[in-house]
Structures are given as structure tokens and as C-alpha cells.
Amino acid sequence: MNKLNIDFEKVDGLVPAIIQDADTNKVLMLGYMNQEAIDITLETKKVTFFSRTKNRLWTKGETSGNFLHVASLTVDCDNDTILIKAKPVGPVCHTGDDTCFAEENKSKTFFIDELRAIIKDRKNNPTDKSYTASLFAKGINKVAQKVGEEAVEIVIEAKDDNKELFMGEAADLLYHYLVLLEAKGYELDEVMEVLIDRHQKK
């Protein structure tokens, strides 16, 4: 049964499958699938191609362990290309690169989570040298005041045309905002929940 309405005759039995990271949206690789490869992929939730060079079914990661766990599988408007959103276990390319296009599979906004972890650590394990720890030591009023100051500074830079200075203030504000959330004991995810909730109500 061809559940996906793919016209395999039109494509000589093989459809290209674009593999995209379900979290970062980076294109990881491209492979080809026949009906059996699609069936196995859907059944095992591990991306399985038909390898034209090996001339057999090939589960990505079968030797390296770097499987691609399927999050979703869709077919394009012409029913002849597959898009699979997946979560990769490790580097996708045999060269060791994150993707087959030699890209780093990371959006820089992911650094926010890393930064939050560092801020949390400075709160829980303060050191004398840490500016972040010194903010926590001064208490909530001081932390909140810093956010206010940085907000004023970004307003001032917004009126000017100096990208470097504006970026510096934008970074200062974001950092102090994260420190304030941590000082209050709240998670950024909770702020996201409020935003997601508002968005859904529209």
C-alpha cells in the first residue's frame, strides 16, 4: 500500500528525501527512498534510505550509531519529494561534519540555554571573580535596577546609528534580563509559555 500517494513510476522507484533537523531546521542531508525504505522508516522511526551505491536498504547510523530519529515525514505538492524532520544522534556526515553540507548544526540562539546554565551555576556556586555572582549577592533590587539601566542604554543607542554600540547594549540587556529571571527563580521556558499562549489566542 502506498500510504503517501507517491507516484513511484514517475520517479523510477526512488524519491529524494530531504532530511531536516527538527529543532534547528538545518538541512542535514539528502538521500533516496523506495517504498520499502519509507515503510521501514515509518515503522522503526529511524531514517532508512535505499542506497544507490550499496544497492540495498541502508539505515542511516547502522554502523556509526548516528541514527536519525524521525519526528515527521511529509510529501511535497507533486508527491515526488519527501521531507523528513529528524533528530540526529550525532554528526550526520561520514566526514564527521554536522551536516553533509559542512554546516554547523546549531542556531546561535541555542547559546541562550548555555548562558542560562552558566548564570544558574554562578548563582548556585558563586566565586569572587564572577560578575554574575556579584549581581546575585547584591540582591533582587540591584539586579532589577541593572535591567532598567540597560533598557535605558539600549533606548539611547536605538536613536543613534552605531551598530556595534547598539549590539553591545542589546547583549547587556538580554544578559541582565536572564540574570533577573534567574534571581526571581523563573525559567525562560515559562516566559515562552506566556508568549505561545498569547499567540494561540489570536
Residues engaged in binding Zn ion (CB under 5 A): 93, 100
Q: Least separation, in Å, of the C-beta of 17 and Zn ion?
A: 14
Q: Least separation, in Å, of the C-beta of 49 and Zn ion?
A: 12
Identify which of residues 39 and 97 has a Cβ nearer to Zn ion in the complex: 97
Identify which of residues 25 and 64 has a Cβ nearer to Zn ion in the complex: 64
Task: Round to whole Å and give the CA distance between 35 and 7.
Answer: 10
Q: Least separation, in Å, of the C-beta of 92 and Zn ion?
A: 7
- What kind and span of H or E run contains 112? helix 111-124
Choose among 39, 45, 40, 31: nearest CA to 83: 31
Task: Round to whole Å and give the CA distance between 150 and 158.
Answer: 12
User: What are the CA-CA distances from residue 85 to residues 49, 73, 136 (Å)?
Assistant: 14, 6, 41
Q: Least separation, in Å, of the C-beta of 72 and Zn ion?
A: 22
Task: Round to whole Å and give the CA distance between 147 and 155.
Answer: 12
Identify which of residues 93 and 170 has a Cβ nearer to Zn ion in the complex: 93
Choose among 134, 187, 175: nearest CA to 151: 175
Identify which of residues 91 and 168 has a Cβ nearer to Zn ion in the complex: 91
Identify which of residues 88 and 146 has a Cβ nearer to Zn ion in the complex: 88
Whether the CA torsion 74, 10, 28, 56 is positive or negative: it is positive
Q: Least separation, in Å, of the C-beta of 149 and Zn ion?
A: 48
Q: Least separation, in Å, of the C-beta of 29 and Zn ion?
A: 6
Task: Round to whole Å and give the CA distance between 94 and 25.
Answer: 20
Residue 48: beta bridge partners? Answer: 59
CB 45 within 8 A of CB 70: yes
